[in-house]
Structure 1
């Protein structure tokens, strides 16, 4: 009897374990399926025929990286699907040279090529894809998996790894290898890609050149190559991992070498009137643009040269001062002001108001040609060499560090108690706060140029008053208690200023809502 009960107990346990395992296996299967339905960087919707006639079926869902892996597992390569042209470059079109074909011919190429490969893979014992008659396996009206790609681009670090590479052959008679991708090596009018790719859409040009080159290096068993799978350039995790490695390399190098493209260190920009007399200058002083400094602060040249490096820059007022565009000077500076070390002051001092309320910010850039020689007219018509020299001289004269008020002139503490009610007056560590702000922007060339006056940083809190170390009291403009004459009342002004600053600068201590950290509550 005892043995029977023990056997029954063991049976129940085994069944329970089996049930749990079965549930876990089913759950794992569900998770795997769920993971597969997430966005993938390699998903391509094949709808080539739609350019010729209306599709009879939904576009085919194609997982490129999954197929690349399957081919590799079977000892096959990209040439199983992609032919090579006369120059040996891989053609992106599936199983054809890219010739214009009829809809029926395209159907035959895809169906014969894909299904026959699936059959052969199955016969070899490999996991395979849909067979004849299983149309919905590829043609899905509601795709189970969708494309999710990050934008791939040639940032400065990635560009450096190419032009510094010893694997890519050097140009004939030169010590550069720019000719592997560019028609003219190091010339200011060089095209981004070789001439034969200039007429192609950008995505086709990149894939035709980059993937073909990477694949060629792999076939040659080169020490290093580049990605041929979609995730290598468009996968979120893969790109993030590359960025981490690039950051490590950059830290070890100290700084990234400049691209050898004969670009100027400084450029002089003069404003001109748009219209029938473009040679007439506006009267606004010229701008000495520190090209070398800005070049090091962006991921690639097209951050500013949005129409291409070789296209003329749009130097109109709107293009340079558009607050909504990161490619404009003012718009880019506004983005910089959102950094925690700057946002404490600038979050409550919008760029638009600062620009419309004072000319001080304009003079920070427009300050060449205002006094003596050369005149604005001469600068506008001067040869390139002279303009470059004037710009370089103006850039070199700019302050390297932030102007600062003498520490002794900064009050150590400021007691705020004029409206103390439920709380004790707040003893604000004024000097500590100012020095903390100054320390955060000490390495910023932007702050050094725009905060030319030592008292400029004071205006972050003491706004709408002259920059001075003895600003008027807040109560001069802000009345009690919260709202008066269209402006915040004194209590609202104090809390709005301090709490906003703490929030924007991401200060954990004291928290913006920790009342007792700033003023103790009264005992009564």
Structure 2
């Protein structure tokens, strides 16, 4: 591939096409557009509104359909001699600039307006004079400046996940510097991009340096780092086009249109192609020297830790957390899912025990337990709990990390034969701890359950009859065993569920929420009174408790008359609002 060393791909990054000024994607009015046909929902809609940086706009922004213009010009070779170069300039190295008819040098408002008017209108007029259908000319301002466009965006961000990364890596397999085809670092002296040639030299995802709006690095050349939008489009699209040009029509290459990357149907096609082209059982892991197992210790004991206030940070007194890094890699599409700022250890510089400026003073404890943060352990697990097979129980449980009884699920108390090894790890220096961690973590995790289990089938009551409130209806017969086995079956492939449902009675706690974890929990009526009393109480009466528990579970799991048992004559699970599904009318 020509100029491969200067290409920068989109490894493990979500491309968000929003920059500081320039061309922005439209997102409003999608509902109305869906009724007007597929051509009204597009992924190539750009809004030319750059003049707003210089004051209020005197005309509505121009709604520009990028792919439509590309396709139209492609049919008229006399007006399309330089392909993308018709509208976009390129650097000496061949990288395409995204700005229209200009490089990255800022222009004044008047010059920017003249650039668009002189070039766009001239192109339209030239095509019109040649008898070719064209866009509006200079006497049709509203033809371009239309405040009420009849199109809406279905643009979606694109994720270069592990499968897409694998496909890119395979194409570079024989290259001398396959990582450098996409990855580079900035040379401190010259400011130029230098390709990396080993996985461990890769700084990480593009978004770590190329932020959404670009960034300024004092004392380093270049001081201004391009935004993610500029870097990704300038490099990736240029690379895709150069590969296609060098190999002819039969060479497989990536898309070079807006819809090709950001259109929902095109993204679906990319995902399906990845599944077909990647061999079964292929190792998708991006290897760059990361450990298979790691240990997270609440606080270092060997070296006293000082907080931001200058006072020593007391150890939490919690056992360390063994972490199966390799398994978690397999469950996430990108490293950015957890390593949102860099590929270093969370506690290395950012989320230290005491908190640091680099991490916004978010401590390690807070970073791991924030339920509303998708990158944290607790936050990621909470997201999994929203799946239908889990939500029936977890949607009704207390939100947050408040039950200290759950701490032992992660903070594993070492067995007798590992107590010394765990103590040595906790009391070692950071350097020694890093060497001890992998082997210790693997041993501590070896005793964890791999799958959710419960009591033997014969020990689970087949039905439970709720008759204490059968004044107006016949007693409700609960298919107890079927429900329990269905819940366990829904979690059979989840190692996460297995690790947290550590006892046979754990699944029972979803309904018997305040009862001891036992094979014979007490009746609901032992805690919930049969009738609502006059005094305020945190416990609902029995009828309310049944309805909140049963109906809440059905609603959270999205049950809508589903038949779980496929046997002939099997009844569907009642809807959460279907009274007759649970209660037969009282016989008179």
**TM-score of the superposition, structure 2-length normalised?**
0.75
In the alignment, is residue 270 of structure 1 matched against residue 319 of structure 2? Answer: no
Question: How many angstroms apart in 2 are the aligned matches of 1:170 and 1:92?
Answer: 31
Conserved? CA contact 1:44–1:61, under 8 Å: yes
Question: How many angstroms apart in 1 are the aligned matches of 2:454 and 2:398?
Answer: 23
Question: How many angstroms apart in 2 are the aligned matches of 1:95 and 1:278?
Answer: 59
Conserved? CA contact 1:270–1:380, under 8 Å: no
Question: How many angstroms apart in 1 are the aligned matches of 2:112 and 2:245?
Answer: 29
**Matching residue within 511, 529, 546 for 1:461:** 511
SS in 1 for 2:89: coil
Cα deviation for residue 54 of structure 1 reads 5.6
SS in 2 for 1:91: strand
Alignment of 1:299-318 (within 5 A): 299-310=333-344, 312=349, 314=351, 316-318=364-366
Conserved? CA contact 1:425–1:519, under 8 Å: yes
Question: How many angstroms apart in 1 are the aligned matches of 2:33 and 2:202?
Answer: 53
Q: If you compute each CA radius of gyration, which structure gives the higher value, 1 or 2? A: 1
Question: How many angstroms apart in 2 are the aligned matches of 1:411 and 1:208?
Answer: 65
| Higher relative helix content | 1
Change (3 A) 1:35 1:410: closer
Conserved? CA contact 1:187–1:261, under 8 Å: yes
Instruction: Show the counterpart of 1:523.
Output: 587
Instruction: Show the counterpart of 1:364.
Output: 409
**Matching residue within 545, 555, 576 for 1:493:** 545
Instruction: Show the counterpart of 1:178.
Output: 179
After the TM superposition, which of the residue ranges 379-388 and 89-98 deviates more from structure 2?
A: 379-388
Cα deviation for residue 253 of structure 1 reads 2.1
Cα deviation for residue 290 of structure 1 reads 1.4
In the alignment, is residue 130 of structure 1 matched against residue 104 of structure 2? Answer: no
Conserved? CA contact 1:188–1:263, under 8 Å: no
**Matching residue within 458, 476, 481 for 1:426:** 476
SS in 2 for 1:453: coil
Instruction: Show the counterpart of 2:438.
Output: 388
Change (3 A) 1:277 1:372: farther
Conserved? CA contact 1:188–1:262, under 8 Å: no
After the TM superposition, which of the residue ranges 369-378 and 190-199 deviates more from structure 2?
A: 190-199
Alignment of 1:200-215 (within 5 A): 200-215=226-241
After the TM superposition, which of the residue ranges 43-52 and 420-429 deviates more from structure 2?
A: 43-52
In the alignment, is residue 342 of structure 1 matched against residue 405 of structure 2? Answer: no
Cα deviation for residue 279 of structure 1 reads 7.5
After the TM superposition, which of the residue ranges 462-471 and 39-48 deviates more from structure 2?
A: 39-48
SS in 2 for 1:373: helix
More RCO (CA 8 Å, sep 6+): 2
Cα deviation for residue 68 of structure 1 reads 0.9
After the TM superposition, which of the residue ranges 287-296 and 309-318 deviates more from structure 2?
A: 309-318
Change (3 A) 1:280 1:255: farther
Cα deviation for residue 91 of structure 1 reads 1.9
Cα deviation for residue 360 of structure 1 reads 2.4
Instruction: Show the counterpart of 2:244.
Output: 218
Q: Write out per-residue CA displacement over residues 43-88 of structure 1, whole angstroms, 9 at most, x where no aligned residue.
A: 2222334445665544332211111111211233111111221112
Question: How many angstroms apart in 2 are the aligned matches of 1:36 and 1:500?
Answer: 38
Change (3 A) 1:129 1:187: same
Question: How many angstroms apart in 2 are the aligned matches of 1:318 and 1:121?
Answer: 62
Question: How many angstroms apart in 2 are the aligned matches of 1:395 and 1:334?
Answer: 21
SS in 1 for 2:47: strand
In the alignment, is residue 46 of structure 1 matched against residue 45 of structure 2? Answer: no
SS in 2 for 1:61: strand
Q: Write out per-residue CA displacement over residues 12-43 of structure 1, whole angstroms, 9 at most, x where no aligned residue.
A: xxxxxxxxxxxxxxxxxx99995589453212
**Matching residue within 300, 303, 327 for 1:293:** 327
Q: Name the Cα RMSD after superposition.
A: 3.0
Change (3 A) 1:32 1:289: closer
Cα deviation for residue 99 of structure 1 reads 2.9
Instruction: Show the counterpart of 2:286.
Output: 259
Conserved? CA contact 2:136–2:143, under 8 Å: yes
Cα deviation for residue 97 of structure 1 reads 3.0
Ranges in structure 2 where 5+ consecutive residues have no aligned partner: 1-31, 185-195, 211-220, 300-304, 352-362, 563-571
Cα deviation for residue 171 of structure 1 reads 4.2
Instruction: Show the counterpart of 1:378.
Output: 427
In the alignment, is residue 140 of structure 1 matched against residue 146 of structure 2? Answer: yes
After the TM superposition, which of the residue ranges 381-390 and 71-80 deviates more from structure 2?
A: 381-390
Change (3 A) 1:31 1:97: closer
Instruction: Show the counterpart of 1:17.
Output: none
Cα deviation for residue 230 of structure 1 reads 0.9
Ranges in structure 1 where 5+ consecutive residues have no aligned partner: 1-29
Change (3 A) 1:258 1:110: same
Question: How many angstroms apart in 2 are the aligned matches of 1:481 and 1:367?
Answer: 44
Question: How many angstroms apart in 2 are the aligned matches of 1:152 and 1:405?
Answer: 45
Conserved? CA contact 1:186–1:260, under 8 Å: yes
Cα deviation for residue 400 of structure 1 reads 1.8
Cα deviation for residue 448 of structure 1 reads 0.8
Cα deviation for residue 380 of structure 1 reads 6.1
Conserved? CA contact 1:286–1:369, under 8 Å: no
Instruction: Show the counterpart of 1:242.
Output: 270
What stretches of structure 1 move > 6 A for 4+ residues in a row? 30-33, 194-198
Conserved? CA contact 1:270–1:281, under 8 Å: no
Instruction: Show the counterpart of 1:23.
Output: none
Q: Write out per-residue CA displacement over residues 221-268 of structure 1, whole angstroms, 9 at most, x where no aligned residue.
A: 261111111112222332234334445667x72566212322221221
Instruction: Show the counterpart of 1:10.
Output: none
Question: How many angstroms apart in 2 are the aligned matches of 1:33 and 1:282?
Answer: 58
- Work out the number of aligned pairs and report it: 486
Alignment of 1:440-519 (within 5 A): 440-481=490-531, 485-507=537-559, 508=562, 509-512=572-575, 513-519=577-583
SS in 1 for 2:110: helix
Question: How many angstroms apart in 1 are the aligned matches of 2:152 and 2:91?
Answer: 31
Question: How many angstroms apart in 2 are the aligned matches of 1:425 and 1:146?
Answer: 55
Change (3 A) 1:406 1:488: same
Change (3 A) 1:380 1:412: farther
Question: How many angstroms apart in 1 are the aligned matches of 2:312 and 2:160?
Answer: 36
